[in-house]
Structure 1
């Protein structure tokens, strides 16, 4: 696994987390059942869950998501742990799976707080899209990923991935 894509995805997500406005915590997100706070909590815990998975342990993806007083610092610690675990177990988790999860939720968060992903690293979302478009079937979508939506003309890789995973692009606050 080329950890450079994952390292860049983690750095990008961390920068996004650090810029969440204080007044945005209760705002809606493209993840219909989640507020910005819920999405941040999920994003913060993803590297820890993938680190557990990479170490060969089972992950309870339905377990309640813990809240953290300093989500950016906790994310940073989880990201470092994930990179260390991937260094020890390089083929344990598909790079595209990690890139896809981090890209989709980075798009979700950027969209929810009024930002965009036009300045994000396109290779990360392209890596995620390649994996997800080959691996995610209609039967696997469940509640996490809705039916594929059309991406607008000129959509960037994050927008195309978001639309593929069932998000309406661009996100419109309900």
Structure 2
């Protein structure tokens, strides 16, 4: 990748740090995503990298898989690293400038779409950490960026069933707790 979209690389690094923290026997642990294990969460994020690769090549993204956990192979960390490397290689300056349809918002350059992808990486890093009881400190700037993105795309995501109904955060809650509540998750372990 020739130029870093805002926060995207830091969000990838944060996600990978959480992936490295999952013990070998922790991939089948339930995650805060209803019906998904830790393996499904990482498979879903690998699937996202494949979608970005297709967009970078001006191709139709592959259809979503029913069981994202199958994308992890026997070594989820290695599968993640391979998908991340392939995606980085696809993100040339030309690809980053390519206009991409963005729901009801029209088109935007792929570089800008990756700015919105920080939300996906950050929230699924949290999901993965919660599935295995990892303590993870999320970058405050990334949380702020992700929350702003969520407020723009949240209604569309909610109407597609991609996130749950917004919850009311506790009084005086920090921005991460408010972001999670907006996405229908509670900051406590095991709750969505």
- Pick the TM interval, shorter chain: 0.7 to 0.9
CA distance in 2, matches of 1:70, 1:106: 18
Aligned residues: 173
TM-score in terms of structure 1 length: 0.83
Structure 2 gap segments, 5+ residues each: 97-108
TM-score in terms of structure 2 length: 0.76
Structure 1 gap segments, 5+ residues each: none
CA distance in 1, matches of 2:57, 2:179: 27
Q: How does 1:122-137 map to 2 (within 5 A)?
A: 122-137=140-155
> Could you tell me whether the CA contact under 8 Å between 2:47 and 2:64 is conserved in 1?
no
CA distance in 2, matches of 1:127, 1:150: 20
CA distance in 1, matches of 2:119, 2:131: 18
Could you tell me which residue of structure 2 aligns to residue 15 of structure 1?
A: 17
The answer to whether structure 1 residue 143 and structure 2 residue 161 are counterparts is yes
Could you tell me which residue of structure 1 aligns to residue 190 of structure 2?
A: 172
Could you tell me which residue of structure 2 aligns to residue 97 of structure 1?
A: 116
Q: Relative to 1, partners in 2 of residues 1:85 and 1:158: Cα closer, same or farther, differing over 3 Å?
A: farther
Could you tell me which residue of structure 2 aligns to residue 32 of structure 1?
A: 34
Task: Name the stretch that deviates more: 139-148 or 122-131.
Answer: 139-148
The answer to whether structure 1 residue 62 and structure 2 residue 67 are counterparts is no
**How many angstroms does 1:52 deviate by?**
1.7
Q: Relative to 1, partners in 2 of residues 1:134 and 1:27: Cα closer, same or farther, differing over 3 Å?
A: same
Could you tell me which residue of structure 1 aligns to residue 181 of structure 2?
A: 163
Could you tell me which residue of structure 2 aligns to residue 114 of structure 1?
A: 133
